Each structure stands twice: as structure tokens, then as C-alpha cells.
Amino acid sequence: MDVFGLLPRVKTRRMLEAFACAMILTFAVSALAQSSSDNGGDAAGTPDSSNPGINNPQTGTVSTGNYVPPAPPTGPDVYYDRPWELYLGLTYTNFLAGPALLQRSNMGGWEVQGSYWRNWHWGMMADSRMYVGTSGVFPNGAPPPIANITGPRIMQYYFMAGPEYRAFRRNKASATVHAIFGNAYGIFDAAHLFGLDVQTIGLFATQWTFSSAFGGTFDYNYTPHIAFRIQPELLMTHYGGTMQQNFGFSVGPLIRLGKINKKRYHKPTSWFR
């Protein structure tokens, strides 16, 4: 039976037919959407309990699928890709200032160190430092009113250079080892000795000598450009033709400088392959 055929006007009949088709299509789409929601979850993306393997970042379900949550932040983005480093440190060493002395000297001072890194692992270091302190001496007969000289001031200057190797690097920290060589200048007559010879009271003579330092560094990063360095070392000198082995230690800020050259850190170089 043609319901629309009972209507007297053709134009009105066509409009009602179109309206009826639109309503039927709307009901069909609504039914399909409701069926999909019942099987897979709601519009917000919450997985249904019958399908716990759905990989949904909002709920942290990562048992299946290719979603991988980002790692939590671990520190500043330090990539060690700047070639220059400048270190300014406060230094300490325990030094024996004479070949037959029993009392060692506690000496402190400053250190300036520059490094050029060829790649992530290998670099060259240049180092300059100064130590000052007092030393025990032999019993002596200085003229009155002194009668006896005790604790005269002594000084040392070091100028060294050599290779260093970065053995460990992370966002938060890095560690290196180094072996540097050069010369030291020891000043053992800096105090007023009232005419006494420094060797008479047990000290080395003021002189230049060969020096070396073997040690490492530990750098804690605050930003990509600034770190705090701890540097223990074994200092070796040859005053008076004999070898001295002394413990050294320094702490201070490290600054990373220079323009990044990505090729330097991604291709092998001719240095220490």
C-alpha cells in the first residue's frame, strides 16, 4: 500500500519520502555506534574488562601493542659533544720537602686546567697549578733572637700536559682518567733563613725538576655547560735526583665551551682508535 499515494500534492509527497529516508539512516548509524561501544569500550578510550590486552596510554596498559611510555627525566641533557672544558680548582697535597725529613707538609693552592676533546672518549689536557705551605726542618742554630727556624714557607709550581680518557658518561655524571707530564719548580728558600742554607736545615734546593700526575676525575653535571669536579691524583717529582710520590686532591667548577661538531662525535678519528 502506497501511503504517500493518498496525498493530493506531488511536492509534499516527495518531501515526506526524503524525511522518512533520513530518519531510517539516522537510526541505523546510532545502532551501529552503540554496538561498537558495547564491544570495545567507551568514546573516551577506556578498555573493556573483557579485553584487558588493549594498549591504551591513558591507563598505562602496555602488555600488548607498540606503545612504550617515556622514561622519567634523569638529569640535564648532557651529551659531551662540546670540545673544550675549563676547570678551576682548589688543590691540596701532602709533600715531603726534604730527602731526610720525617715531618710531611700540608700544602694548598689553586689549579687551572683546560681540555680539548677529540671525540667522546679521548682528549688532551693542559694543567697549571701552585701549592704553598710550611715544612718541618732539622734542628738548627739561627742567630739570636730567633735561635731556631721552624716551619719555613715553601712553594711549588707545576706545568704539565697529556692525554685523558673518558671511561664513563651519563646524563648526571662522568668519569675520566689521565696521565700528564711536565716540569715542577720548587721554591724552598722563600722564607727568611738568616743566612742558613736550605739543605743544611733538611730542605731540597730551589730547582726545576721533572713532574707527572696520574689520576682521574669525577664530574657531577648541573647543566649541559657546568659541572662540579672531584680530582684525586698521585703526584710524582724528582727533586734532588730522588723520586717523591705524593697524594694530591682538588675540587672545583668545570665549564664546557665550544661549538658542537656532530661529525667529531659520530665518526672514528685518527687519535687512539
- pLDDT 10s digits, 10-68: 556 666 666 666 666 666 656 555 555 455 444 444 444 454 444 445 555 555 555 55
Domain 84-265 indexed as CATH 2.40.160.20? yes
Other Cβ atoms within 10 Å of 131 Cβ, number: 25
| pLDDT value for 54 | 45
Residue 41's pLDDT is: 46
**Burial bucket for residue 229 (CB in 10 Å: 0-12, 13-18, 19+):** buried
Average pLDDT over residues 70-92: 80
Specify the DSSP class assigned to residue 124. Answer: E
Instruction: Concatenate the DSSP letters of all residues of 74-113 into one string.
Output: -S-------SEEEEEEEEEEEE--STT--S-EEEEEEEEE
Distance (Å) of CA 59 to CA 7, 129, 273: 58, 58, 48
Which of the two residues, 260 and 247, has the higher pLDDT score? Answer: 247
Residue 44's nearest CA partner among 58, 60, 61, 62 is 58
Reading phi first (left if > 0) and then psi (alpha if -120 to 50, else beta), residue 211 is in beta
Q: Does residue 39 come out as left (phi exceeding 0), alpha (psi in the -120 to 50 range) or beta? A: alpha
- What's the mean pLDDT in 236-264? 90
Highest mean pLDDT among 3-12, 16-25, 158-167: 158-167
Q: Rounded mean pLDDT of 102-113?
A: 94
User: Residue 272: what pLDDT?
Assistant: 44
The answer on pLDDT for 271 being more than 50 is: no
Delimit the domains of the chain by residue range. 4-38, 84-265
- Which H helix or E strand runs over 34? helix 10-40
pLDDT at 78: 77
3-state DSSP assignment of residue 188: coil
- How far is residue 70's CA from residue 93's CA, in Å, rounded to a whole number? 46
